[in-house]
Amino acid sequence: MILDLLHNASLLLALSLLQGINVRAWGARKKQADISSGLLFGGICIAGMLMPITLAPGLIFDGRTVVLGMAAFFGGPLVGAIAGTMAAAYRLWLAGTGAFVGVAVIVSALLVGLGYRQLVRRQWLQATLPGFLMLGLAIHCLALLWFALLPAQHAGSVFGELALPYLIVLAPATALLGLLLQDFERQMETQRALISSEARTRAVTRASPDLLMVIDEDGRYLEVSSPEERLLYADETQLLGRRMHEVLPQAHADRFLAFIRQTLAARTPQRIEYALDTLGGHRVFEGRAQALDTPQGEKRAVVFVTRDVTERIAAERERRIAAIAFEAQQGMVITDADAVILRINRAYTQMTGYLPEDVVGREARVFHSDLQEQSLRQEMAHSLQTTGAWEGEIVGRRKNGDVFPLWMAITTVRDEQGIVSNYVAALSDITQRKSAENEIRTLAFYDHLTQLPNRRLLMDRLQHALASARRSGKHGALVFIDLDDFKCINDRHGHQGGDRLLREVAGRLCLAVRETDTVARLGGDEFVIMLENLHHERGQAMAEARQIAHKALEALSEPYTLDGNTALSSASMGIAMFDANEVDVDTLMRQADVSMYRAKHAGKHTLQFFDEPG
């Protein structure tokens, strides 16, 4: 009897191991796996009932309780229900004296298995050998209780011949099957975890911007994983299994092989930076290598992780260049979009006296806006808004309060969305340039000895005076002045004395005329006074001109002190009037010149109008 039970139980245990193949086949598809497991366990129960121990017609015994208990415990309600339904249906189909007791045994085995499953899940019991043995005893003790419901003659046979072997064989068989299935489940969990880990590793590797390679001590590529093929020197298929010297240029291969061997010798991570012509062009990389633990007898290897740092290197180079440019001779100011100063350079501090702590965090306009005209500020804002740049001359203020001319160029910086993020201003102190321009202007339009307007500036102002007279209807006058006997003074006191006299004459003439009048020197001892805005009536205008000319004539006749000696001089003046009538500048100049010579011929120290008889 025991041998028959052992044979039956062994067959069912062997068939139950098909569960491993079934679960592997379905993989992660749990519902399909559960249905197929239920069908498999149900089929195994039917197979057991095909080879039963028969005590009497319709009274059979087999190891189905072992299979059903484990089906419920490991598979859960769905697997147990399918397997139990199949087993119960087949047992009822076989019919006989023990049919209904057999179904009750099937149901109780399933219920005990599900109950044990819940206790383990709630951690009230553990799925260990003692636990599985207790499960087997519980299932088969309960089955023996169901056997007590058989007719008396059959029940006596069961308890007399089968009860003890039933417990001795099937309870340990249940425990053994539980351990086998548990071990298989753990292997599957380990395998799934390994597969999941490998999948995550592959995903991380692919998502990482880094290129990963495993290279042995001979420089042979064992593994290559790249997020982008363009980062490789050659296609992955051309690298795997080949040595570096078969793929890379000699110099690069020698350097990398030395680096790998250095890493193996150091047993600590090593770093390398290199440039290489890849499938995506010339790139710069930063790599790190770590020695791998390899089994005894196998070639040593390293895992080499390298990152494309081309853009970072280029950005660093640009930052260095920008830093050098920022510390150039020009003053530099960087602000945010609201014109709040973020940074200044040393040249700005030297130019204005402001230190970073004086200006950073404050609005840039605080330091110059109140010095600028409203129109200039509007022009600046409009240009920055429409073109993104502006340059022009402004008035700057130093920390000590001094104002000075500045040339400023402003550039707008926008982000990737086109929104203004910063303004960069370059400033130059143009004080010296302005001085040079003023000096050039002075040389071009003013007499260097007396600082009076020269012929060029006089002609320009005379042109404007003629146009103004035509518009206003007022008269004007041009007074030519020639010093009498200036050559004698020059001979007696020298050229330095003559120059001092000319400067004194210029000063006296400026005091004799109105602020709106112009005093100019044509050259030598010739001077000109231009009078504007005289009376509308010609006679009254001539009287005004005569009065101013007489005042100048008297001022010039006063004694001069040259080198401690007194010198006397006088002047002859010719006056040409002009009004709304058309007359050109050259004609007017000739008229005044002719009038001056008339005055000189009339006896000097006198004046003469052009349209008056001489």
Q: Residue 533: its pLDDT value, please?
A: 92
Q: Within the chain, which residue ranges are assigned CATH 3.30.70.270?
A: 446-609
Question: pLDDT category, 22, cuts 50, 70, 90?
Answer: low
Residues 539-572 have pLDDT tens digits of 999 999 999 999 999 999 999 888 778 888 899 9
Q: Residue 257: its pLDDT value, please?
A: 92
Is pLDDT above 70 for 368?
A: no
Under 8 Å between Cβ of 274 and 265? no
Residue 502's nearest CA partner among 480, 524, 473, 518 is 524
Under 8 Å between Cβ of 1 and 165? yes
Under 8 Å between Cβ of 410 and 384? yes
Higher pLDDT, 202 or 499: 499
Q: Residue 75: its pLDDT value, please?
A: 82
- Note the Cα 331 to chain centre separation in Å: 25
Fold annotation for 2-190? Arp2/3 complex 21 kDa subunit ARPC3 (1.10.1760)
Q: Residue 431: its pLDDT value, please?
A: 85
Residues 402-430 have pLDDT tens digits of 888 888 899 888 877 788 888 988 888 88
Task: Extract the tokens encoding 398.
Answer: 């130093």
Nearby residues of 10 by Cβ (< 8 Å), 6 or more positions away: none
Q: Residue 324: its pLDDT value, please?
A: 64
Q: How far, in Å, CA of 350 to CA of 321, rounded?
A: 22
Is pLDDT above 70 for 21?
A: no
Percentage, residues of the chain above pLDDT 70:
87
Question: 């840039």: which residue's tokens?
Answer: 364
Residues 26-72 have pLDDT tens digits of 666 778 878 888 888 888 788 777 777 676 676 776 777 877 888 88
Handedness of CA 119, 120, 125, 128 (dihedral sign): positive
Fold annotation for 208-314? Beta-Lactamase (3.30.450)
Q: Within the chain, which residue ranges are assigned CATH 1.10.1760.20?
A: 2-190
Task: Extract the tokens encoding 159.
Answer: 């308890």
Q: How far, in Å, CA of 79 to CA of 595, rounded?
A: 135
Q: What's the predicted TM-score (pTM) here?
A: 0.43
* Amino acid symbol at 334: I
Nearby residues of 234 by Cβ (< 8 Å), 6 or more positions away: 247, 279
DSSP H or E stretch at residue 14: helix 2-16
- The CATH code of the domain at 446-609 is 3.30.70.270
Is pLDDT above 50 for 395?
A: yes
Sheet holding 221-225, edge to edge: 221-225, 210-216, 301-308, 281-291, 270-278
Q: What is the mean pLDDT of the chain?
A: 83
Is pLDDT above 90 for 594?
A: yes
DSSP line for 97-126: TTHHHHHHHHHHHHHHHHHHHHHHHTTSS-
Fold annotation for 335-434? Beta-Lactamase (3.30.450)
- Count CB-CB contacts under 10 A for residue 205: 16
Q: Residue 1: its pLDDT value, please?
A: 46
DSSP line for 218-268: T-BEEEEE-S-GGGSSS-HHHHTT-BGGGTS-HHHHHHHHHHHHHHHHH-S
Highest mean pLDDT, choosing among 5-14, 200-209, 308-317: 308-317
Q: How far, in Å, CA of 400 to CA of 340, rounded?
A: 22
- Strand residue runs (E) in 169-240: 210-216, 221-225
Q: Within the chain, which residue ranges are assigned CATH 3.30.450.20?
A: 208-314, 335-434
Q: How large is the average pLDDT for residues 236-241?
A: 82
Q: Which residues of 27-42 are buried (b: 16+ CB within 10 A; e: fewer)?
A: eeeeeebbebbbebbb
Going by the DSSP 8-state scheme, the letter that residue 568 receives in this structure is: -
